[in-house]
Amino acid sequence: VQLQASGGGLVQAGGSRNLSCTFSGSFNGFTSFFYGIGWYRQAPGKHREGVSCFSSADLSTYYSDSVKGRFTISRDAAKNTVVLQMESLKPEDSAVYYCVLSRYKGGAEYFCLINDYDVWGQGTKVTVSS
């Protein structure tokens, strides 16, 4: 499976930005599987943080406290794509955002916390100017 992430860029504080992650391919020839997918971010000098995740098994979502109420994750199953809508952006949201995916049957919250995934996408950098 490959992940293609896009959408990073420069945005002013208070603005909005959408990140998109599309996956393609298969796991050992299987193209239909339950999965967890989500976004991690890492800012310079900070620990990597699981920001938001989605589970296809129970359709649950998870948001870290730092983004709850401002970010929304949604899935387009037909396109194998998840979109992270980021609103009311703050300078502290500046980071490289990574899309992650694993075969997975649990809930979104645990998926976002395990920090161990089958696939990591290339990062996309978001810079929020004050």
Q: What is the rounded CA–CA span in Å between residue 129 and residue 79?
A: 32
pLDDT band (50, 70, 90) for residue 28: confident
**Residue 90 corresponds to which amino acid?**
K
CA distances, 30 to each of 1, 6, 24, 34, 38 (Å):
10, 25, 11, 11, 20
Give per-residue pLDDT as tens, 47-61. 999 999 999 999 999
pLDDT band (50, 70, 90) for residue 126: very high
Instruction: Write out the DSSP string of 64-86.
Output: -TTTTTTEEEEEEGGGTEEEEEE
Give per-residue pLDDT as tens, 75-110. 999 999 999 999 999 999 999 999 999 999 999 999
